[in-house]
Structure 1
Amino acid sequence: MLPDRPAPDFTLKSFFNGGDTEDFTLSSVKGNWILLLFYPVDFGYVTPTEFYEINKLMSKFKEANCSIIAISTETIDSQRSWWSAPRTEAGLESMDNLRFVSDRQGLVAASYGVYKANENVAFRATFLLDPDMNVVSIEKCDIPVGLNIGEQLRQVQAALEMEKNPGAGIPADWHPGDEINPDPFIPEPNRVIGDQSEDLKHTFDHTMYQSQASNYSTRSMNKSKSMSGSTGQSQASSYYNKSLKRTISS
């Protein structure tokens, strides 16, 4: 799964705002920005903190026309119990504008590359999708590490800014109201600035030498097939090691 690639579509059991359980298809919300949020378990210690942050920022996600879809391998009944439980029990107190999706077999999590099969849970992850359901950004974390929800919102806002300014570059730590670079952010082919030409030449020469050394090493190893006994193998191995040393030292 990479940015600028189509997100896998799916249909799973789901509920929205505590409503009835229904089949939900991801492409049914195509046309909106979508934040897919994979999480491992209901309740717990880390997971509720992520959703409490979502709750704080929900109005801004709505302003950005961004739907939030929470996916886990938990059952719908478990998700519903967690959604309605009070915060004193690490619950979500029936927070609004949040869709839960149950991926019991982990097939969707696996298709997005975030399935931990030995525990049948999803790793923590977010996938920001544009209105055409192409991936804009990805964040994946190990289970004990909580996600930065504020950063997910910032990326949505940055993507919207790019829509208004095609080809513009959005700098690090940009927030709405900050200046942007209106120039194209992708350098022209073969464009060299200042002393970079010598650096690029060195990089090119170094890469060429690595390729040559690798080819030489391969030929040396192939040569060992025609040699007999351990002496021949030792000589071929020596050629290989010398080639690697020359590559590293360059």
Structure 2
Amino acid sequence: MSLVNTKIQDFATTAFKGGEFVDVTQDDVLGKWAIFFFYPADFTFVCPTELGDMADHYDELQKLGVEVFSVSTDTHFVHKAWHDASDTIGKIQYYMLGDASGTITNNFQVMREGQGLADRGTFLVDPDGIIQFTETTAEGIGRNAAELMRKVKAAQYVRNHPGEVCPAKWEEAEGETLKPGIDLVGKI
């Protein structure tokens, strides 16, 4: 079942952010755009490349009013140890949610059956807590934060411009959208 257009479920956890442990719940997500970025485990191989790529785009995401929550089934203690041990992970300024119970991973339906690890799942949540975008990739396929940025901007555009939609390869700078209606039927 697709989670698109569904509200995020309740959760409570501890995260590592900014050198501190902080409590985070679903209420901390409401009122802003949020990316939930699930990955299998700390101290692995593809994961640090993805998390580092996201860190490189974090300032731009913040300017768009987007908060990032990376999630694995590791604890917040392991996130801190990885942050301290890796130059790539050390540059992360966003939340690193611990999910040892698997509650959040199961809520977003990306738990690998019988493994206790998350799939590579990405979810864009709007300020109302509604999931607007989801993507899940196989173990060996890393994600691209630049492409995710494009999708965030498109989702924000559509929310702010009712009645308009963003076509394939839409870029904010070009700004050409579509207004669905009978006049467009069969003309695209």
TM-score, normalised by the number of residues in structure 1: 0.69
Q: Does 1:77 align with 2:77?
A: yes
Q: Does 1:95 align with 2:92?
A: yes
Aligned alpha-carbon RMSD (Å)? 1.9
Deviation at 1:17, TM superposition (A): 1.4
Larger deviation, residues 42-51 vs 123-132: 42-51
Question: Bigger relative contact order, structure 1 or 2, given CA contacts below 8 A and separation 6+?
Answer: 2
Q: Distance in 1 between matches of 2:171 and 2:34?
A: 19
Match of 1:168 among 140, 164, 168: 164
When Rg is computed on C-alpha atoms for both structures, the one with the higher figure is 1
Equivalent pairs counted in the alignment come to: 185
User: 1:124-155, CA deviations, whole angstroms, 9 ceiling, x for partnerless residues?
Assistant: 10110000010100001122221222221111
TM-score, normalised by the number of residues in structure 2: 0.90
Q: Distance in 1 between matches of 2:153 and 2:64?
A: 7
Q: Does 1:106 align with 2:106?
A: no
Match of 1:120 among 91, 116, 121: 116
- Secondary structure of the corresponding residue to residue 24 of structure 2: strand
**Which has more strand, going by share of residues?**
2
Q: For 1:56, give the aligned amino acid.
A: D
Query: Which ranges of structure 1 fall in alignment gaps of 5 or more residues?
Result: 195-250
- Secondary structure of the corresponding residue to residue 4 of structure 2: coil
Larger deviation, residues 31-40 vs 49-58: 49-58
**Which has more helix, going by share of residues?**
1
User: 1:46-102, CA deviations, whole angstroms, 9 ceiling, x for partnerless residues?
Assistant: 001111211221121011100000111112211111122233xxx412422x10111
Contact 2:29 2:129 in 1 (8 A): no
Query: Which ranges of structure 2 fall in alignment gaps of 5 or more residues?
Result: none
Aligned-pair identity in percent equals 27
Compared with structure 1, are the counterparts of its residues 116 and 168 closer, same or farther at alpha carbon in structure 2 (3 Å cutoff)? same
